[in-house]
Protein backbone atom coordinates (compact mmCIF):
# COMPACT_ATOMS: atom_id res chain seq x y z
CA UNK A 1 0.00 0.00 0.00
CA UNK A 2 2.74 2.44 0.90
CA UNK A 3 4.60 1.70 -2.34
CA UNK A 4 1.50 2.40 -4.38
CA UNK A 5 0.91 5.82 -2.79
CA UNK A 6 4.58 6.78 -3.15
CA UNK A 7 4.52 5.80 -6.85
CA UNK A 8 1.35 7.83 -7.52
CA UNK A 9 2.62 10.92 -5.70
CA UNK A 10 5.94 10.84 -7.57
CA UNK A 11 4.21 10.68 -10.98
CA UNK A 12 1.95 13.60 -10.12
CA UNK A 13 4.96 15.71 -9.23
CA UNK A 14 6.43 15.17 -12.71
CA UNK A 15 3.39 16.41 -14.68
CA UNK A 16 4.19 19.74 -16.33
CA UNK A 17 1.39 22.03 -17.38
CA UNK A 18 2.54 24.05 -20.39
CA UNK A 19 -0.19 26.65 -20.26
CA UNK A 20 0.85 27.77 -16.78
CA UNK A 21 4.35 28.66 -18.01
CA UNK A 22 3.02 30.56 -21.02
CA UNK A 23 0.60 32.55 -18.91
CA UNK A 24 3.43 33.58 -16.59
CA UNK A 25 5.59 34.67 -19.53
CA UNK A 26 2.72 36.60 -21.07
CA UNK A 27 2.17 38.43 -17.82
CA UNK A 28 5.82 39.38 -17.60
CA UNK A 29 6.59 40.30 -21.19
CA UNK A 30 3.20 40.98 -22.81
CA UNK A 31 2.28 40.10 -26.38
CA UNK A 32 4.94 39.78 -29.04
CA UNK A 33 5.39 42.62 -31.51
CA UNK A 34 4.26 40.49 -34.44
CA UNK A 35 0.86 39.95 -32.84
CA UNK A 36 0.24 43.57 -31.96
CA UNK A 37 -1.85 45.60 -34.39
CA UNK A 38 -0.32 48.69 -35.85
CA UNK A 39 -2.18 51.94 -35.39
CA UNK A 40 -3.87 53.56 -38.37
CA UNK A 41 -2.16 56.59 -39.78
CA UNK A 42 -4.72 59.21 -40.66
CA UNK A 43 -4.19 61.62 -43.49
CA UNK A 44 -4.85 65.30 -42.89
CA UNK A 45 -8.38 66.50 -43.61
CA UNK A 46 -7.19 68.68 -46.47
CA UNK A 47 -5.74 65.64 -48.22
CA UNK A 48 -8.88 63.53 -47.80
CA UNK A 49 -11.05 66.42 -49.02
CA UNK A 50 -8.81 66.91 -52.06
CA UNK A 51 -8.97 63.20 -52.89
CA UNK A 52 -12.77 63.18 -52.61
CA UNK A 53 -13.00 66.28 -54.77
CA UNK A 54 -10.79 64.67 -57.43
CA UNK A 55 -12.95 61.53 -57.43
CA UNK A 56 -16.12 63.62 -57.77
CA UNK A 57 -14.62 65.59 -60.66
CA UNK A 58 -13.54 62.41 -62.41
CA UNK A 59 -16.99 60.88 -62.00
CA UNK A 60 -18.58 64.06 -63.38
CA UNK A 61 -16.22 64.07 -66.39
CA UNK A 62 -16.97 60.42 -67.15
CA UNK A 63 -20.70 61.11 -67.04
CA UNK A 64 -20.35 64.13 -69.31
CA UNK A 65 -18.22 62.13 -71.75
CA UNK A 66 -20.81 59.35 -71.97
CA UNK A 67 -23.56 61.90 -72.61
CA UNK A 68 -21.48 63.61 -75.31
CA UNK A 69 -20.82 60.28 -77.05
CA UNK A 70 -24.52 59.41 -76.99
CA UNK A 71 -25.49 62.83 -78.38
CA UNK A 72 -22.90 62.53 -81.16
CA UNK A 73 -24.11 59.04 -82.13
CA UNK A 74 -27.71 60.18 -82.16
CA UNK A 75 -26.91 63.26 -84.25
CA UNK A 76 -24.87 61.29 -86.79
CA UNK A 77 -27.77 58.84 -87.10
CA UNK A 78 -30.41 61.56 -87.41
CA UNK A 79 -28.71 63.49 -90.23
CA UNK A 80 -28.72 60.39 -92.47
CA UNK A 81 -31.45 59.63 -95.00
CA UNK A 82 -34.09 57.02 -94.15
CA UNK A 83 -32.46 54.32 -96.33
CA UNK A 84 -29.07 54.85 -94.69
CA UNK A 85 -30.64 54.78 -91.22
CA UNK A 86 -32.25 51.40 -92.03
CA UNK A 87 -28.91 50.09 -93.29
CA UNK A 88 -27.12 51.36 -90.18
CA UNK A 89 -29.62 49.68 -87.85
CA UNK A 90 -29.40 46.42 -89.84
CA UNK A 91 -25.59 46.51 -89.68
CA UNK A 92 -25.78 47.06 -85.93
CA UNK A 93 -28.05 44.01 -85.50
CA UNK A 94 -25.76 41.83 -87.63
CA UNK A 95 -22.71 42.94 -85.68
CA UNK A 96 -24.40 42.09 -82.37
CA UNK A 97 -25.35 38.62 -83.68
CA UNK A 98 -21.76 38.01 -84.86
CA UNK A 99 -20.37 39.06 -81.48
CA UNK A 100 -22.83 36.74 -79.72
CA UNK A 101 -21.79 33.83 -81.93
CA UNK A 102 -18.10 34.51 -81.26
CA UNK A 103 -18.74 34.62 -77.53
CA UNK A 104 -20.71 31.37 -77.65
CA UNK A 105 -17.98 29.64 -79.70
CA UNK A 106 -15.34 30.83 -77.25
CA UNK A 107 -17.38 29.48 -74.34
CA UNK A 108 -17.94 26.13 -76.05
CA UNK A 109 -14.24 25.72 -76.81
CA UNK A 110 -13.17 26.35 -73.23
CA UNK A 111 -12.64 23.47 -70.81
CA UNK A 112 -15.91 24.00 -68.95
CA UNK A 113 -17.82 24.49 -72.18
CA UNK A 114 -16.55 21.22 -73.66
CA UNK A 115 -17.80 19.41 -70.56
CA UNK A 116 -21.13 21.20 -70.62
CA UNK A 117 -21.94 20.98 -74.33
CA UNK A 118 -20.48 17.51 -75.02
Task: Note whether 108 and 117 are within 8 A (CB).
Answer: yes
* Average model confidence (pLDDT) across the chain: 81
Mean pLDDT of 17-38: 62
Q: Are both 56 and 72 inside the same structural domain?
A: yes
Report the C-alpha gap between 76 and 88 in whole angstroms.
11
What per-residue confidence (pLDDT) applies to 73?
93
Task: Output the CA–CA distances (angstroms, integers) from residue 38 to 33, 41, 45, 99, in the order listed.
Answer: 9, 9, 21, 51
Report the C-alpha gap between 39 and 63 in whole angstroms.
38
What per-residue confidence (pLDDT) applies to 75?
96
Q: Are both 86 and 75 inside the same structural domain?
A: no
Checking if the pLDDT of 11 tops 60, the result is no
6: in domain: no
Q: Give how many domains the chain has, as a whole number.
A: 2
Strand locations in the chain (E):
none
Taking the CA atoms of residue 84, residue 85, residue 90 and residue 92 in that order, the dihedral angle to the nearest 10 degrees is: 110
52: in domain: yes
Checking if the pLDDT of 13 tops 80, the result is no
Task: Tell me which residue range forms the domain holding 96.
Answer: 82-112
Amino acid sequence: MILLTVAISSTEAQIFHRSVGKKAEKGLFGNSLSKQKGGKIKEPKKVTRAIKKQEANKKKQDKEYKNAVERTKKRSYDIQTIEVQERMSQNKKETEEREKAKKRAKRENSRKGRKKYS
